[in-house]
Structure 1
Amino acid sequence: MPRYAHANVMTGARRMEVRELPLPELSADDGLLKVEAAGVCGSDVKSFFSDLSPRVLGHENVGRIEAIGASAARRWGLAEGDRVVLEEYLPCGHCNYCRSSEFRLCLDSDPSTNPAAIRYGRTPVTTAPALWGGFSDFLYLHPRTVAHKLPEHVSAVEGTLALPISNGYEWTYREGRVGPGDTVLVIGPGQQGLGCVIAAKAAGAAKIIVTGLPSDKERLDVARQLGADHTLFADDPDLREQISALTGGDLVDVVIDTAAGNLATVSLALDVAAKRGRVIAAAATMKPLGELDFYKVNRKYLSLHGVRGHSYAAVEWAIDLIAQGRHPLHLMCSMEVSVDHAEQAILGTAGELDIPVIHASVVPA
């Protein structure tokens, strides 16, 4: 085994630097992952465009257990050589959130509310042992790691879709309660939105509508191949009328905003949701929506539900779905780069390259 990991470290806004980072000395409670592939999430794009402390990005990680301590092996039910998908969360395991199966809300793994929190793809290299992200050939397995076994026949690149697809399942089925006969609108055809399409189809939705921008044409094409019945351009001035016509005037049972969470998308959701409909706010601008006509929530008896992340059960479902091979998931896997060129995968995900990218992966040599 080498003494160093080959990693691409984000050193500032739009800056990355390839470094050799020393592999840690392991104890009985932790381990080391040989990374096979790391998917690029929209949050990686946001981090890359921000001036954050140096870190190794990448939290949609697939790999093989390179080394594992005896205690960790018993606790995780894993052994050297096992293939796994990692969750980004590193929950404490004993707070109220963890004990009620909501460990994605654990403050010890939530950097948005706790600066000392640790999480894969978000923890700076100044926190030992530095190897917290998948844009590297090795990743440190903290004692609080949450891992899921991945079948041998699943490609590593398709395995990186487990988290975005699990988000779609969490938001669409577990939180949105989509069921047979429902009409669903997914705002945004990115990797999370396409995960919602897959979940809505699996849940038996009668009609699935997806909106996107003209620049999302390729993504909307993929949405149709994954089960969407109709795709519409979000900038059409008669978008609301089109949705009403597609539903026979009944409007939409469940609206899922994966696109922006801004005044335009939330207003659209409130407008086209049917009475007693459910609006799932999966995206947020992090700014007040001062002109939002909130009265529609009351008038239409809507349920407005904020969501974030995925549950353990959602990731298990996603891995099982990927393993079945019944969906053309390869259509989402549109770019692979080496660790040395990780920034290209981020720029592609951000739409800054000449090629359309839905889901990119960093694949160590």
Structure 2
Amino acid sequence: MAAVVHYALENGAVEFREAPRPPEIADDEVLLASRAVGVCGSEVHQYHNTHSWRVNVPVILGHEFCGVVAQVGKGVRGFREGDRVASETAARICGRCLYCRTGQYNLCAERLGFGYGVDGAMADFVRVPERCLHHLPDSVSFESAALTEPCCVAYNATCVQTHIRPGDSILVLGPGPIGLLCLALAKLSGAGWLGAAGLKQDENRLAIAAQLGADRTLSGG
């Protein structure tokens, strides 16, 4: 199958390659046919070999993804072939530590994510544990669903950790994808004045910030 492979720990060591189809799935896994995959800033770092985390090369990239269930393991109960789904990113967790037992499995010390720890979704097929999957409504396109993971990051930062209240004044520093999603969620949370600040090269992104509801955009640097 076709895949985008990070094949060595050196600058530019990412390319399209033919890769073997994932081996037989476990009882608690599904085989997912990829339909849309986002490109994260972390993958740009892996491409340039400027990342700070361990990467198990060679590995297929892609952790912001959705697709269609192509095959289900014997123990899978919540999904069936043909289901449209989006996936979380924690491909492997211990399931035993305090973080895992309290729903904070993203902090598990044994966590391995798609695209660096195990093969990700920039391929025709990817193996995914059932616990990572969420059903997609027919009204949500695959292209939109691929933004589920970064949107959840922004939701956690904006709505869970920051506790924005109606009328609050909010300034978003950095109009990248996560920053723009934070701005949109702040708007939905009832923020009063909204601002977005970036660098001179962020003009296009700041224009999007204005479209999303920023009252003022600032650039400098």
Tell me whether the two structures share a fold, i.e. TM-score over 0.5.
yes
Q: Mark the runs of 5 or more structure 2 residues left unpaired by the alignment.
A: none
**Equivalent residue number for residue 137 of structure 1:** 124
Count of equivalent residues: 212
**Equivalent residue number for residue 151 of structure 2:** 165
**Equivalent residue number for residue 86 of structure 1:** 87
**Equivalent residue number for residue 17 of structure 2:** 18
1:123 aligns with 2:117: yes
**Equivalent residue number for residue 352 of structure 1:** none
* CA–CA separation in structure 1 for the residues paired with 2:106 and 2:213: 29
- Which of the two has greater strand per residue? 2
Structure-to-structure mapping, 1:112-261, within 5 angstroms = 118-123=112-117, 132-142=119-129, 145-235=131-221
* CA–CA separation in structure 2 for the residues paired with 1:140 and 1:34: 9
* Structure 1 position 19, deviation (Å): 1.7
* Structure 1 position 154, deviation (Å): 1.6
Structure-to-structure mapping, 1:286-297, within 5 angstroms = none
* Structure 1 position 177, deviation (Å): 0.8
**Equivalent residue number for residue 58 of structure 1:** 62
Q: Is the 8 A contact 2:25 2:127 kept in 1?
A: no
Residues 214-223 or 151-160, more deviating: 151-160
* Structure 1 position 232, deviation (Å): 0.3
* CA–CA separation in structure 2 for the residues paired with 1:234 and 1:185: 15
3-state SS of the aligned residue for 2:90? Answer: coil
* CA–CA separation in structure 1 for the residues paired with 2:30 and 2:149: 21
Q: Mark the runs of 5 or more structure 1 residues left unpaired by the alignment.
A: 110-117, 125-131, 236-365
Q: Work out which of the residue numbers 3, 22, 31 in structure 2 matches 1:7.
A: 3
One-letter code of the match for 2:95? G
One-letter code of the match for 2:127? Y
One-letter code of the match for 2:7? T
Aligned Cα root-mean-square deviation (Å): 1.6
* CA–CA separation in structure 2 for the residues paired with 1:142 and 1:149: 14
Q: Is the 8 A contact 1:34 1:64 kept in 2?
A: yes
* CA–CA separation in structure 1 for the residues paired with 2:26 and 2:186: 43
Q: Is the 8 A contact 1:6 1:138 kept in 2?
A: no
Structure-to-structure mapping, 1:305-316, within 5 angstroms = none
Q: Structure 2 vs 1, CA of residues 27 and 165 (structure 1 numbering), >3 Å: closer, same or farther?
A: closer
- Which of the two has greater helix per residue? 1
One-letter code of the match for 1:101? G
Q: Is the 8 A contact 2:30 2:69 kept in 1?
A: yes
Structure-to-structure mapping, 1:308-347, within 5 angstroms = none
One-letter code of the match for 1:169? Y
User: Could you give the per-residue CA deviations for residues 69-105 of structure 1, whole angstroms, max 9, x where no partner exists?
Assistant: 131x22xx21111111111113332321012121110
**Equivalent residue number for residue 302 of structure 1:** none
3-state SS of the aligned residue for 1:62? Answer: strand
* CA–CA separation in structure 2 for the residues paired with 1:18 and 1:104: 30
* CA–CA separation in structure 2 for the residues paired with 1:135 and 1:201: 32
One-letter code of the match for 1:89? A
* CA–CA separation in structure 2 for the residues paired with 1:27 and 1:120: 16
User: Could you give the per-residue CA deviations for residues 190-248 of structure 1, whole angstroms, max 9, x where no partner exists?
Assistant: 1000110011011111011100111111111111111211110132xxxxxxxxxxxxx
3-state SS of the aligned residue for 1:21? Answer: coil
3-state SS of the aligned residue for 2:19? Answer: strand
Q: Greater CA radius of gyration, 1 or 2? A: 1
One-letter code of the match for 1:135? M
* CA–CA separation in structure 2 for the residues paired with 1:135 and 1:217: 29
* CA–CA separation in structure 1 for the residues paired with 2:59 and 2:79: 27
1:36 aligns with 2:17: no
TM-score (norm 2): 0.90
* CA–CA separation in structure 1 for the residues paired with 2:169 and 2:17: 47
Q: Is the 8 A contact 2:100 2:108 kept in 1?
A: yes
* Structure 1 position 44, deviation (Å): 0.7
TM-score (norm 1): 0.56
